[in-house]
Structure 1
Amino acid sequence: MIGGFIEYIFVISQKLRSYPFCHSLPKRSLCYNGRYFGLCARCTTMYFGGLLAILSFPVWSGGISINYILFIGLLLITPAGIDGTTQMFGSRESNNKLRVTTGFFLGLGIPILCWGGLRVITG
């Protein structure tokens, strides 16, 4: 069951290999059965987290104050921002465990933040 799910994710990531915002470097990608995913570890888990946030929308969208939604969204995207920025400017080298974690939180945070922003705009 888990192997089939991972294989499915692997196939999808290969189709997204040409995604313009992902470097797809093998050393920064997840590996399954000796094959590297088409996206880096951060992007792979970002998509997974985003899908999870969207699918769980009915659970977290109702009855929560807009300020709390925006705060949670910002809180979830902050670790990826810090990790990516400090790595980009050469302060340090990240690792795949950190990329997986920050990517997943980023994936959760973006739809939540977008939904909160839409609620602010539409009143």
Structure 2
Amino acid sequence: MTLLDFVFRLSNRVFRPYPFCHSRPDRSLCYHRRYFGLCARCTGMYLAGCLMILSFPFRGELLSPTLNIILGTVLLLPGGIDGTTQMFGSRESNNFLRVVTGLFLGVGVVLFAEGVLFILIG
């Protein structure tokens, strides 16, 4: 069993039974006819969000809280546009675009939350 086989099996046991994501097979990443336990967008979002949180001690406070909020908001827009236009049937997205917009969403949510927390904490 390869590492990817192990990751895909584990993801199905961990993510599918719980409401982290809709986990639709047609919108999930596939490897050797095995579907990942999260959809492509959520995979990118959770991956980027976790990496951003883990990298916080090494990043320090690079941007002002206001810039964090602005940049976070800008990074949320592509995912919102992609998801909304797909939901209303304007067009069909693909998994590559879903992963990329998910990565933007993950980074954007963390930057936005950091900016808000820094403002609240002072």
State whether TM-score is above 0.5.
yes
The residue correspondences of 1:11-90 to structure 2 (distance < 5 A) are 11-14=9-12, 15-20=14-19, 22-90=21-89
TM-score by length of 2: 0.86
| Inter-CA distance 80–63: structure 2 relative to 1 (3 Å threshold) | closer
| Inter-CA distance 119–7: structure 2 relative to 1 (3 Å threshold) | farther
Letter in 2 for 1:117: V
Q: Mean Cα displacement is larger for which, 64-73 or 34-43?
A: 64-73
Q: What value does the CA root-mean-square deviation take over the aligned residues?
A: 1.8
Q: Mean Cα displacement is larger for which, 67-76 or 11-20?
A: 11-20
Runs of 4+ aligned structure 1 residues displaced above 6 Å come to: none
Provide, for residues 1-25 of structure 1, a one-character-per-residue CA deviation record: whole Å limited to 9, x for no partner.
Answer: xx62x44542443111134252211
- Identify unmatched segments of 5+ residues in structure 2: none
Residue 33 of structure 1 deviates from its aligned partner by: 2.2
Secondary structure at the aligned position of 2:53 is classed as helix
- Separation of aligned partners in 2, 1:21 and 1:59: 28
Secondary structure at the aligned position of 1:62 is classed as coil
TM-score by length of 1: 0.85
Residue 44 of structure 1 deviates from its aligned partner by: 1.1
Letter in 2 for 1:10: F
| Inter-CA distance 55–12: structure 2 relative to 1 (3 Å threshold) | farther
The question of whether the paired residues in 2 share the 8 Å contact of 1:13 and 1:44 is answered with no
- Identify unmatched segments of 5+ residues in structure 1: none
